[in-house]
Amino acid sequence: MTEELGHINIEPKSGEELLTFNQKETGFQLIDFWKWSVSDIISNATRGRFAEFIVASALKIDLSSVRNEWSPYDLISPQGIKIEVKSSSYLQSWFQKKHSTISFSIKAARHWDNHTGIQAPTSTRQSDIYVFCLLKHKDKGTLNPLCLEQWEFYVLPTLSINNYKRSKSSITLKSLQTLTAPISYHELEKTIINTNQNTEK
């Protein structure tokens, strides 16, 4: 009989943790890895995680716990609202001849439970709300994703995504703008809560 290994409880790190070899310090800390690996917050993968952080901060979600890589949705608000976060940007860190075309993934997925190691048999969208985060700034010389006024956000109930007819895998900015208006960072919390309440009626 194969022994079950279970899952690992991940605790938040400070960045000051040391890399060691044979119990001797190497001169490097965990923060050195963070600087090396995720300083490019314009890149697609890192920008997506940063967008989740932005939305989490707006919703006053407890950020002392570690992001769950395998959750069926990206965030859960203090009110219990399950949120899927998507991001896109006109600018990329690589060379561009023109601005990127804006679209967002809305593809349903088979949820994988990291506590049981079991994947759901069918693809679904398990969030209540989608938040589409657009890094709208178009000048590379002054681009700074840390300036939240360079972003705009679109909030939709997942029901609207489920009913979207043109595509089951992505939505363009033009199509998104026919369904909802852009909002700024300081409007996110109220809009998400109100959208969820109106959907539940």
Structure confidence at residue 122 (pLDDT)? 81
pLDDT at position 6? 73
- Token reading at 88: 């896109």
The domain containing residue 138 runs over which residues? Answer: 40-104+121-200
Can you tell me the distance from the alpha carbon of 22 to that of 110, in angstroms, rounded to the nearest whole number? 42
Site of tokens 């609207």: 160
Domain assignment of residue 5, yes or no: no
The pLDDT value recorded for residue 131 is: 98
**CATH for 154:** 3.40.1350
**Domain-embedded: residue 34:** no
CA distances from 16 to 12, 34, 36, 42, 154 (A): 12, 11, 15, 25, 37
Widest pairwise Cα distance in the chain:
61
* pTM reported for the whole predicted model: 0.91
Classify residue 22: in a domain, yes or no: no
User: What is the pLDDT, as a whole number, of residue 114?
Assistant: 66
134-162 tens-digit pLDDT:
999 999 999 999 999 999 999 999 999 99
Q: Which residues of the chain fall below pLDDT 50?
A: none
Q: Is residue 153 part of a domain?
A: yes
d(C-alpha 105, C-alpha 44), whole Å: 12
CA pair distance 117, 133, nearest whole angstrom: 31
Count how many domains the chain has: 1
Instruction: For residue 141, tell me if it sits in a domain.
Output: yes
